[in-house]
Amino acid sequence: MSKGRCGIPLAHARGYGRIGVLAVLIGALAGCQSAPVPPEPLNLDTAKAAVIHYYESGGSERVLAAVADEAKTWIEQRVARRQPGERLAVVFDIDDTLLSNYAHIAALGFGYIPADWEAWIARGDAPAIKPMRGVFLAARRLGLDVFLITVREDPRERAVTEANLRREGLGDYTRLIMKSTAGPKLAASELKTAVRRALYREGYTIIANLGDQESDLRGGYEERSFKLPDPLYLME
């Protein structure tokens, strides 16, 4: 049986004659519901205020501390099961994983201006994210190799990045791999997967991979990954 709009059985309605059809249609249409109105998006100023509160009330620090504790526990447990000859490693992203860019991003009203971003990097004074520095230092204390993988450009930004890391107590890493070194045309997720794959082929077992973006963690070649919350931006 064919139906009209709102599911009205037309063949059944025709049996009532013209007046009957009209009555059936009116009654049926009265029960029709209009398409739902989509909810209004969260106001941008409200969203920004929530992010500011999250960072400046200590909420971010508490969540990061919980992730750091989980990562350190796993690393310690895995090292305790280390097999002879295993080359164990931990991988970190840099921006908003080891070093915080919140001050710069908030000062721009949570916008992005390439020239201003480059100037911020060139200053080299991004503060360490303390819970993640704790994971970094724990990994080194346990004798693990630590690799840093970043979409920052090499060679232009290498010297200032290295100086910033040293200043924040993060200079004792095995290798810093930057975008131009590993493949300038790769997207973030492709770059990071390619580097982890290369480390695997070198004989490393990456027991932990830490980053603030899903693109830091896609692609495998690690035993465990740890996602840090980041409401500031999204990178693919």
Predicted model pTM: 0.82
pLDDT in tens, 74-91: 999 999 999 999 999 999
Asked, as a colleague might, if the bond just before 41 is cis with ω within 30 of 0, I would say no
Band (pLDDT 50/70/90 cuts) for residue 1 is: very low
Bridge partners of 92, per DSSP, are 148, 210
Query: Is 96 within the bounds of a domain?
Result: yes
User: Is residue 24 predicted with pLDDT exceeding 80?
Assistant: no
Give the residue numbers spanning the domain of 124: 44-227
Share of the chain above pLDDT 90, in %: 74
Closest by alpha carbon to 151, among 137, 164, 161?
161
* Dihedral angle sign, alpha carbons of residues 228, 231, 232, 236: positive
Same domain, 99 and 162: yes
Same domain, 13 and 113: no
What mean pLDDT comes out for the span 113-117? Answer: 95
SS (H, E, C) 25-38: HHHHHHCCCCCCCC
Number of separate domains in the chain: 2
pLDDT in tens, 182-224: 666 788 889 999 999 999 999 999 999 999 999 999 999 999 9
User: Is residue 155 predicted with pLDDT exceeding 50?
Assistant: yes
Closest by alpha carbon to 95, among 199, 44, 168?
168
The residue written with tokens 């204390």 in the block is: 141
Residues 209, 222: contact at Cβ < 8 Å?
yes
B/e letters for 93-105, b = 16+ CB within 10 Å, e = fewer, are bbbbbbbbbbebb
Closest by alpha carbon to 95, among 187, 198, 232?
232
Query: Is 24 within the bounds of a domain?
Result: yes
